[in-house]
Amino acid sequence: MGEEVKLFRTWSSPFALRIVWALRIKAIEYETVFEDISNKSPSLLQCNPVHGKVPVLLHNGRPIAESLVILEYIDEAWKQAPLLPVDPHERAMARFWAKFGDDKVLGSIWSVFIKQGKEQEEAMVPAMENLKFLEEELKGKKFFGGDTIGFVDLALGWLANLIGLLEEIVGLKVVDGEKLPLLSAWMQEFGDAPIIKDNWPARDRMILKFQALRDATIAAASK
């Protein structure tokens, strides 16, 4: 039976990248629909009427939204190359770390990125605390998933790309190889894995985009 798989994404969304990686890891054929956030297509709005956001996965005409929900769906609908472990407690821990990434790590890193001077220094404190928890979690493991890339690696994967970019833009080292050796090593291993590496968005375009975002946020905050 022919499967129809479509992914609505933008060129830069780290959440959509999770889905690209998952589909590639499971060798699922799919069609990409690139969206312009300032001019969303009627299809996207129909598929995700509640949030109107990307990514959305359309599988045989049925839409699934919210990237971590989509990842679990992909893992359940296509059994090859499993992303989540089998043991219920390990699954719960994987879900926990993925949620921690989205609820805490992302916001704390972003705060460091959009602030300056003393405020930026203060923002580094919770960011570093959060990164230390991830460092602890990597003890004895190559990836968060163990020997192979798994659910948590895909969920936290944005770190492997964005951290380097943000550090370059603000001129500040956030993931220091001495203070966070395991996390640094993971960023390298994960970032260089073929499926992951092939799909990073264009670096120079990302730098321009995030520089502009930083400038705009700082300008708005000083009004």
Q: Which positions touch other proteins (CB under 8 A)? A: 50, 59, 62, 64-66, 68-70, 72-73, 76-77, 88-89, 91-92, 95-96, 99-100, 133
Q: CB-wise, 77 or 207, nearer to other proteins?
A: 77
Q: CB-wise, 126 or 164, nearer to other proteins?
A: 126
Q: Kindly report the length of the chain.
A: 223
Q: How far is the CB of 76 from other proteins (least distance, A)?
A: 4
Query: Residue 182: which of 220, 126, 136 has the closest Cα?
Result: 136
Q: CB-wise, 89 or 223, nearer to other proteins?
A: 89
Ranges of H-type helices in 54-157? 67-77, 88-100, 106-114, 117-137, 151-156
Tokens coding 92: 């719960």
What sign for the dihedral angle of Cα 79, 34, 56, 112?
positive
Q: What is the amino acid identity at position 57?
A: L
Q: How far is the CB of 68 from other proteins (least distance, A)?
A: 8
Say if CB 98 and CB 152 are below 8 A apart.
yes
Q: Is residue 85 packed enough to be buried (19+ CB in 10 Å), middle (13-18) or exposed (0-12)?
A: middle
Q: CB-wise, 93 or 213, nearer to other proteins?
A: 93
Q: CB-wise, 77 or 195, nearer to other proteins?
A: 77
Q: How far is the CB of 111 from other proteins (least distance, A)?
A: 18
Q: Which residues contact 37 (CB under 8 A, 6 or more apart)?
A: 10, 54
CA 220/CA 223 separation, integer angstroms: 6
Q: CB-wise, 99 or 141, nearer to other proteins?
A: 99
Q: How far is the CB of 47 from other proteins (least distance, A)?
A: 12
What residues pair up with 9 in beta bridges, in sequence order? 34
Q: How far is the CB of 77 from other proteins (least distance, A)?
A: 5
What residues pair up with 146 in beta bridges, in sequence order? 143
Q: How far is the CB of 61 from other proteins (least distance, A)?
A: 11
